[in-house]
Amino acid sequence: MNQASTLFVGTLTTLLAIINPLEVMPVYLQLLSGHDRATHLRVARKACLYALLLLFFFLVFGTALLKVFDVPLSMVRIVGGIILMRIGFSLFDPSGGRSMVAPDPAASPEDICFVPLAMPLMFGPGAIATVMGMASHVSHPFENLLPVGAIAAAIVLTMFTTYLVLAFAPVIVGRIGPRGIDAATRIVGFFVAAIGVGLIFQGVVQALEPYRLGLAH
């Protein structure tokens, strides 16, 4: 695969694993308990739109920040990998899931679209680390628009998938049940931790590369 395809697949799979719509569902359903389906769909649509805009903003802002302040890409990968690895490990903890988030149940549907649904449930440290980590693979983001476009397309598809999961949340929960969600969350945690370790390894290798070349001379 070329770089654009690799970034698209990597961003899509990692963001889906980080956001984990199956884990967002219990909070979403609990906060909207007693509301009709039209309200459910409106809240899901707005929450996903807010998260999409935040991801796009950070993709553009983060890429510009790296270029302006000349932040080493190796450091971005290492820090992003540490965050992803920590999140992955936390998903194995039954008491550490996002389903335990307990915002004010008296809040109106419009109040919960941005907080806590869009942020921090969908857009949090893991999503930021993912976007920054993937963007760090593009050497000249303002010149190589295709790889950046691939990341953007993956973000759009991720949030569309998340919206579909929330839109059909009652059906999904009825099919797989709490145990199915818990099992899926643990499996996702394993892959998120593995992705984080991979980013750390790549960052360390990249950071040590100049020293290796120096010793070779």
Q: What is the pLDDT of residues 46-88, one digit of tens each?
A: 999 999 999 999 888 876 777 777 777 778 778 878 887 887 7
Average pLDDT, the chain: 83
Q: What is the pLDDT of residues 6-19, one digit of tens each?
A: 999 999 998 998 88
Instruction: Measure the CA–CA gap between 155 and 143, rounded to whole angstroms.
Output: 20
Q: Is the pLDDT of residue 22 over 50?
A: yes
Report residue 42 as tokens.
């409106």
Least confident piece of the model among 94-98, 123-127, 130-134:
94-98
Per DSSP, the residues of 38-91 read HHHHHHHHHHHHHHHHHHHHHHHHHHHHHHHHT--HHHHHHHHHHHHHHHHHHT
Query: Which residue, chain included where needed, has tokens 């949030």?
Result: 159
Give the relative orientation of helices 3-19 and 73-90 as an angle to the nearest 10 degrees. Answer: 40
Q: What is the pLDDT at residue 95?
A: 58
Domain range enclosing 54: 3-216
Q: Is the pLDDT of residue 97 over 80?
A: no
Across the range 141-156, mean pLDDT stands at: 89
Least confident piece of the model among 38-42, 109-113, 152-156, 187-191:
187-191
Does residue 120 have a cis peptide bond before it, meaning omega lies within 30 degrees of 0?
Answer: yes
Coil/strand/helix, residue 123: coil
Q: What is the pLDDT at residue 147?
A: 92
Number of domains in the chain: 1
